[in-house]
A and B are shown apart, each in its own frame.
Chain A
């Protein structure tokens, strides 16, 4: 069964009988309608209880009718596929796949969903936001449909997690109730974790098969079992399935989920949610059903859950609690049947799934009615209700009898099949010999708790502990229970006529086209299963007679404290442990202080580098040739540069100005090194940037706190900081040494052929420039440069934004000493030239006159950039230096009165020009930022290559000058702002 080609919404019919288009639409409708309904219901007003119910009712009915219309195609186990391409390049399609098994699950989800909707209309209080409830319910319904309709493993896992999410919302619907929140959280944690495991398992399975398509995977059984990875894949998938269907040891979430409104419990714990796990087991059964891993894990979990659930159910006083543990027990029964691995076991499992859904949903609803009308679900307070609500009572009795496995009801039939399967021994494992005893025991427990449910609630003396007189519920609230109980009876009396065909098509899709023989008759003659059934019924009755009183009086948990054997306790422990662990990690590795963090970063980088060097080796081939004279000069240069760097580090704390100057020295030396080593472009840029950076730092110094060596701290602090300094010094020296060694090792290694040859060879022929570095920047790698100038522009704007909110610290507010002295000196101070207006008198004149020359230099750098050292970055920085000089010489006000500075506009223009230059290429059907060039004859200059990349470079210039000027001006304006505030204060004072 290969999926066919990839048209839009292609339909694949194995034995097509019906109109393709209509079945196409129907299957889509079944999946989409609930989600659509959920969206609409979410938008309804808070009190629109009835409209929301009607909407949900219509959605469920429409889906149900569509599903019914599709039925004729499934009589012989056909598969209906609908593929919608989603990410075809990754092989991910939306595949809807409907076969007999999914059909029957869909029918359960939609049918019981419709009944639950009707029931919830009467159950939910008008005080609650009921449309929200229906919205969640419909969304959950859609997610469940998605799980059973998925024809793709990943898609299945996604819908699986969606069911976990929506069940969380449903269980926690009464979020004002802490128990509901707790239960919802626990259900989500357990089932969603299982879902994650499932996803990993599905990915593994997909990796084994090479496809995520369910049909392909199902057809690849031998390939999967031959692959050693199948065990982990199976384990993870089972983890998902067993958490979802509340199997031991993950069963603990289910009883806590009873804090949900009863319609939710009736829906989630009968036909949906927990049955998703069963569905997945059924889906995987054809592949893994006969393996030992499957037998031990699934069968073991099943038998443990069957017994534990039944045992715990006996001791419950809460009606819903009893039903919850009984659900766990019945799920264990189904899981055990699947674990046996025999085809008849699978048949019985499907049959019991259907039966359990019907009687359990009706019982939950009945419990909800009792709660609704009597005000409590506590069996110790309830008694003799039959006289007040005979109809509900009768319905509940029939449903409970089905649960106990009384003949003529559906529960009896599937329980018979179960017992028969257990007795026959399935796959012949030795362990199976104990199963008949255990199964009978669990059945007897089932009889016992069913009896207790009925007798304690409906019979006995009239209740005395109720605060109201119970009565029958509204007719429409009882109707869903009536329908379900009628189904229990119908199936129980005439199974072959009612459920037979549906069961057959589901069995075919699980057990293959030749399903084993099974009989849906009521009477199979006197045989061992019948004997066991009778034994269980009588045993349960006897147990009730003997222990009934004791059970009614027991404190919660009952004998042997099996409740302790409860993952819930471990779960809580684990959650507390996780929180504690997280706190511990936060305390130890916490991001509280900066220095330890940075130290850790540096050390990790060092270790990573060292590890790489150790693992890969770091061969060094020293060059022992005698040093040339020029090497001495270079060494002398770096003696200065290194000295500057060390001195800057030493002085950075107490003598910031000196440190800035020294750092500039180190920068200049590295600039000279670039010249020395044939990189003039770098030298130019470095030199210009160095100037701007220094000015920037000088502007910032003004706002930093005074830090004088005389400021003493405590001795202890001093010792600590000395120790820190020593440790850091060691770290720094080791890192520096390591970097030096690595640098030397690389430099002395022969050059590897890289991409540079390509650039050098094509710079002129294809880029129209002789300066390869510049051609790389504005042509070959222009997109990188475009990104870079964007970053620069963003930084400029960020600086502006940060400084707009800037409030200097109090101790930086006063004018600096020198300025104060100068202001006091007035026009003619003690010595001429001391006054403020005389500051920098000669440099000021020089700087003003330099303005045009620096601009000419910038233009020169720009124009020659494509062919000679220079370029947009250098030109931009040079231009901003021209502006900067004026600010330094004459002050912000003087400059702004005379120059029109619009740095933000320039940034924008620069970006637009650069992007426009790139888009122009798109206009010529070339990729973004493709450049063109042409030789043109210009007057005076002669034949010149003119590249469109020059326009791009113009954008770079504008942006660089805009961003740089913006930063410097924003910083310089801080002094003005403060001065203005002083003036304002002075005016107020006057």
Chain B
């Protein structure tokens, strides 16, 4: 049942993220990207299947893989978390620079024509 909860969570996060992504104001878009990256990180993580209470580290000697949670998606997501932080930072600064240069926080750099 954990699966269905997480699936719905991914769905809700991505819905909120995509809706914000399509908004006209840059700040909304940056929030949308962040929410979407949560959803995507959870999605990638879920590719390794869900497992609660599995030991996080191996013991010395020959490890039995079936005991542990799948480490590959975890390594991928760890990378993704750091990169999405960099993305948010860069986008925030671009947003600020665009706002300073154009005077508008619209994604097109100008207010829509009436």
Residue of A nearest to B19 (CB): A732
**Contact call A638/B8, Cβ cutoff below 8 A:** yes
| Min CB gap A45→B, angstroms | 46
| Min CB gap A943→B, angstroms | 11
**Contact call B56/A628, Cβ cutoff below 8 A:** no
- Give the segment of A109-117, A171-179, A360-368, A737-745 that binds chain B: A737-745
**Contact call A646/B71, Cβ cutoff below 8 A:** no
Chain A positions 779 through 820: 1 when the CB is less than 8 Å from some CB of chain B, otherwise 0: 001001100100110010011001101111110000000000
**Contact call A777/B77, Cβ cutoff below 8 A:** no
Chain A residues with Cβ below 8 Å from B63 are 760-761, 763-764
| Min CB gap A608→B, angstroms | 15
**Contact call A685/B78, Cβ cutoff below 8 A:** yes
Asked, given contacts A649-B35, A743-B46, whether A677 binds B51 with beta carbons under 8 Å apart, the answer is: yes
State in angstroms the CA–CA spacing of A667 and B42 once bound together: 11
Candidates B11, B16, B96; contact of A700 at CB < 8 Å: B96
Chain A, interface SS category = helix
Candidates A599, A740, A792, A871; contact of B22 at CB < 8 Å: A599
**Contact call A740/B21, Cβ cutoff below 8 A:** no
Chain B positions 36 through 68: 1 when the CB is less than 8 Å from some CB of chain A, otherwise 0: 001101110111111111111111111101001
Residue of A nearest to B30 (CB): A697
State in angstroms the CA–CA spacing of A652 and B95 once bound together: 15
State in angstroms the CA–CA spacing of A736 and B12 once bound together: 6
| Min CB gap A802→B, angstroms | 5
State in angstroms the CA–CA spacing of A565 and B104 once bound together: 57
Candidates B18, B38, B88, B93; contact of A736 at CB < 8 Å: B18
Chain A residues with Cβ below 8 Å from B21 are 598, 602
**Contact call A791/B86, Cβ cutoff below 8 A:** yes
**Interface residue count for B (Cβ, 8 Å)?**
92
Chain B residues with Cβ below 8 Å from A788 are 79, 82-83
Chain B residues with Cβ below 8 Å from A717 are 112, 114
Within 8 A of B (CB), among A954-981: 960, 963, 967, 970-971
**Contact call B74/A682, Cβ cutoff below 8 A:** yes
| Min CB gap B83→A, angstroms | 6
A161 at the interface (CB under 8 A from B): no
Listed residue (A630, A676, A773, A867) with the most chain B CB atoms within 10 angstroms of its CB = A773
| Min CB gap A712→B, angstroms | 13
**Contact call B16/A635, Cβ cutoff below 8 A:** no
Residue of A nearest to B89 (CB): A967
| Min CB gap A736→B, angstroms | 3
**Contact call B13/A645, Cβ cutoff below 8 A:** yes
**Contact call B90/A799, Cβ cutoff below 8 A:** yes
Chain A residues with Cβ below 8 Å from B104 are 705
Asked, given contacts A646-B12, A873-B78, whether A703 binds B5 with beta carbons under 8 Å apart, the answer is: no
State in angstroms the CA–CA spacing of A803 and B90 once bound together: 11
**Contact call A772/B51, Cβ cutoff below 8 A:** no
Residue of B nearest to A788 (CB): B79
State in angstroms the CA–CA spacing of A676 and B2 once bound together: 10
Within 8 A of B (CB), among A554-612: 592-595, 598-599, 602
| Min CB gap A660→B, angstroms | 8
**Contact call A728/B22, Cβ cutoff below 8 A:** yes
**Contact call A685/B12, Cβ cutoff below 8 A:** no
**Contact call B31/A663, Cβ cutoff below 8 A:** yes
A686 at the interface (CB under 8 A from B): yes
Asked, given contacts A770-B57, A873-B82, whether A736 binds B114 with beta carbons under 8 Å apart, the answer is: no
| Min CB gap A349→B, angstroms | 63
| Min CB gap B32→A, angstroms | 7
| Min CB gap A977→B, angstroms | 12
Listed residue (B59, B75, B83) with the most chain A CB atoms within 10 angstroms of its CB = B75
Asked, given contacts A700-B95, A736-B11, A777-B75, whether A760 binds B68 with beta carbons under 8 Å apart, the answer is: yes
| Min CB gap A67→B, angstroms | 61
State in angstroms the CA–CA spacing of A641 and B38 once bound together: 11
Chain B residues with Cβ below 8 Å from A714 are 114
Chain A residues with Cβ below 8 Å from B112 are 717
Candidates B49, B52, B68, B96; contact of A772 at CB < 8 Å: B68
Asked, given contacts A653-B23, A703-B96, whether A747 binds B89 with beta carbons under 8 Å apart, the answer is: no
| Min CB gap A810→B, angstroms | 7
Asked, given contacts A649-B16, A649-B31, A666-B38, whether A747 binds B46 with beta carbons under 8 Å apart, the answer is: yes
**Contact call A803/B93, Cβ cutoff below 8 A:** yes
A771 at the interface (CB under 8 A from B): yes
State in angstroms the CA–CA spacing of A760 and B62 once bound together: 9
**Contact call B93/A653, Cβ cutoff below 8 A:** no
**Contact call B19/A593, Cβ cutoff below 8 A:** no
| Min CB gap B103→A, angstroms | 5
**Contact call A751/B100, Cβ cutoff below 8 A:** no
**Contact call B46/A628, Cβ cutoff below 8 A:** no
**Contact call A681/B51, Cβ cutoff below 8 A:** no
| Min CB gap A70→B, angstroms | 62
**Contact call A685/B82, Cβ cutoff below 8 A:** yes
Chain A positions 202 through 222: 1 when the CB is less than 8 Å from some CB of chain B, otherwise 0: 000000000000000000000
**Contact call B8/A642, Cβ cutoff below 8 A:** yes
Asked, given contacts A645-B35, A739-B11, A747-B7, whether A772 binds B105 with beta carbons under 8 Å apart, the answer is: no
Chain B residues with Cβ below 8 Å from A807 are 100-101
**Contact call A659/B31, Cβ cutoff below 8 A:** yes
A748 at the interface (CB under 8 A from B): yes
- Give the segment of A189-197, A404-412, A688-696 that binds chain B: A688-696
Asked, given contacts A646-B12, A677-B69, whether A692 binds B25 with beta carbons under 8 Å apart, the answer is: no
**Contact call A649/B20, Cβ cutoff below 8 A:** yes
| Min CB gap B30→A, angstroms | 7
Listed residue (A670, A721, A746, A806) with the most chain B CB atoms within 10 angstroms of its CB = A670
Asked, given contacts A806-B100, A967-B89, whether A743 binds B43 with beta carbons under 8 Å apart, the answer is: yes
Listed residue (B12, B53, B103, B105) with the most chain A CB atoms within 10 angstroms of its CB = B12
Listed residue (B31, B72, B85, B92) with the most chain A CB atoms within 10 angstroms of its CB = B85
**Contact call B61/A670, Cβ cutoff below 8 A:** no
State in angstroms the CA–CA spacing of A518 and B58 once bound together: 88
**Contact call A678/B46, Cβ cutoff below 8 A:** no
Chain B residues with Cβ below 8 Å from A773 are 71, 74-75, 78
**Contact call A649/B19, Cβ cutoff below 8 A:** yes
Candidates A623, A693, A746, A795; contact of B46 at CB < 8 Å: A746
Chain B residues with Cβ below 8 Å from A808 are 100
**Contact call A693/B85, Cβ cutoff below 8 A:** yes
Residue of A nearest to B61 (CB): A764
**Contact call B86/A963, Cβ cutoff below 8 A:** yes
Chain A residues with Cβ below 8 Å from B108 are 592-595
State in angstroms the CA–CA spacing of A960 and B45 once bound together: 23
**Contact call B38/A799, Cβ cutoff below 8 A:** no
Chain A residues with Cβ below 8 Å from B14 are 732, 735-736, 739-740
A899 at the interface (CB under 8 A from B): no
Chain B residues with Cβ below 8 Å from A736 are 10-16, 18
Chain B residues with Cβ below 8 Å from A772 are 57-58, 68, 71
Chain B residues with Cβ below 8 Å from A761 are 62-63, 65
Listed residue (A592, A751, A760, A792) with the most chain B CB atoms within 10 angstroms of its CB = A760
Chain B residues with Cβ below 8 Å from A868 are 56-57
Chain B residues with Cβ below 8 Å from A594 are 107-108
- Listed by A's residue number, 27 A-B pairs whose Cβ atoms lie within 8 Å are A592-B108, A594-B107, A598-B21, A625-B1, A638-B5, A641-B13, A642-B12, A648-B16, A652-B28, A653-B23, A667-B34, A678-B54, A682-B74, A685-B78, A685-B82, A693-B34, A703-B96, A705-B104, A728-B19, A732-B15, A736-B14, A743-B46, A756-B48, A763-B71, A773-B74, A788-B83, A873-B78
Q: Which B residues are within 8 Å of any A CB, using their own CB?
A: 1-25, 27-28, 30-32, 34-35, 38-39, 41-43, 45-63, 65, 68-72, 74-75, 77-79, 81-83, 85-90, 92-97, 99-101, 103-105, 107-108, 112, 114
A623-B1, A967-B89 known, 10 other contacts, Cβ within 8 Å = A652-B27, A667-B34, A670-B9, A678-B56, A685-B82, A693-B88, A704-B105, A751-B49, A806-B100, A807-B100
Q: Nearest 9 CB-CB pairs, A to B?
A: A740-B11, A736-B15, A744-B7, A732-B19, A649-B16, A642-B12, A772-B71, A678-B54, A594-B107
